[in-house]
Amino acid sequence: MDTPAAPADLAAVKQRQQAAWSSGNYAVVGTTLQIVGETLAEAVDLRWDERVLDVAAGNGNATLAAARRGGRVVSTDYVPSLLELGRARAQAEQLDVVIQEADAEALPFADASFDVVLSTFGVMFTPDHARAADELARVCRPGGRIAMANWTPDGFIGQMFKVLGKHLPPPAGVQPPSRWGTREHLQALFGDRAAAIVATPRTFNFRYRSAAHMIDVFRTWYGPVQKAFQALPADRAADLRADLAALMERMDQGGGAGLVLPSEYLEIVVTRR
């Protein structure tokens, strides 16, 4: 008889993930995604004085978008250095934002504390999907909205993580982050707690000089890619670079005048029952 696979050590996975996102400087890539936060704030129809929580906020794209629309925003992440960058951005615009370190799987807030809960490419990377969804639903009041932007499995970032997984397999038993970018998984996660789920496919265009330029930026600043390269010997790192370049060149829409790389994501608005 086959021996059942041991369950994944999600605490250890989270610790490694936190180390990855703390390395490099995600903000170098994250600031290019600001338009996603703005679009999400419009999709959730945010109103002045609503209580807003940005979960796994990174350097604050959705935080800033919500504060610009009059939201009373609490911005959270488990990487303090990214929160400090978000604080500086808010101060530069004279936006009143509360910055608080917090784990998306154990939010330090009372039930039904917020009218709107946001996450752009953040909560989707938690190792325990069900627990993270439980927390988002718990802190959102009945009738409130949970709005997320999540990369899809077939979009560029979903495909990039598949390439990384080919060279450095993820821990057994851990669900791919890109499952958050599918309607079926969202329905399974939120279930009866959702009065409605509206999921709209959208595209963000990464823009770099070339595939080589984008790989260099991600290898230097984007934690998961940086850690993957660091974990591989030189020959296997070269193979990873070649596979990433091939993926980028295959998906490039720049027509030879710089890299324009469409990456699909799912814009989600869940109305809390």
Identify the CA nearest to 133 among candidates 153, 107, 159.
107
Q: Is residue 225 part of a domain?
A: no
Which residue range is the domain that position 58 belongs to?
10-204+263-272
Question: Where residue 172 falls among pLDDT bands split at 50, 70, 90?
Answer: confident
Whether 6 shows a pLDDT value over 70: the answer reads no
Sheet holding 72-77, edge to edge: 97-101, 72-77, 51-54, 114-120, 140-151, 259-272, 194-208
Identify the CA nearest to 139 among candidates 111, 159, 158.
111
Q: Is residue 124 part of a domain?
A: yes
Whether 192 shows a pLDDT value over 50: the answer reads yes
Specify the 3-state DSSP secondary structure of 147: strand
Total domains present in the chain: 1
Question: Where residue 173 falls among pLDDT bands split at 50, 70, 90?
Answer: confident
Residue 52 φ/ψ, nearest 5 degrees = -125, 135
Q: Is residue 30 part of a domain?
A: yes
Q: Is residue 52 part of a domain?
A: yes
Interaxial angle between packed helices 234-251 and 211-221, expressed in degrees from 0 to 180 and rounded to the nearest 10: 130
Average pLDDT value for the chain: 96
Whether 2 shows a pLDDT value over 50: the answer reads no
Whether 109 shows a pLDDT value over 70: the answer reads yes
Q: Which residues sit opposite 120 in a β-bridge? A: 149
Q: 189 with 130: CB under 8 angstroms?
A: yes
pLDDT at position 129 is: 98
Specify the 3-state DSSP secondary structure of 32: helix
Q: 266 with 202: CB under 8 angstroms?
A: yes
Find the mean pLDDT for residues 59-67. 98
Q: Is residue 150 part of a domain?
A: yes
Question: Where residue 4 falls among pLDDT bands split at 50, 70, 90?
Answer: very low
Q: Is residue 173 part of a domain?
A: yes
Q: What is the CATH number of the domain that holds 32?
A: 3.40.50.150
Whether 168 shows a pLDDT value over 60: the answer reads yes
Residues 159, 265: Cα–Cα separation, whole Å = 12
Interaxial angle between packed helices 223-231 and 211-221, expressed in degrees from 0 to 180 and rounded to the nearest 10: 90
Whether 7 shows a pLDDT value over 80: the answer reads no
Q: Is residue 268 part of a domain?
A: yes
Q: Is residue 94 part of a domain?
A: yes
pLDDT at position 3 is: 47
pLDDT at position 222 is: 97
Q: Which residues sit opposite 207 in a β-bridge? A: 260
CB-based contacts of 243: which residues, under 8 Å, 6+ apart?
163, 166, 167
Read off the pTM. 0.96
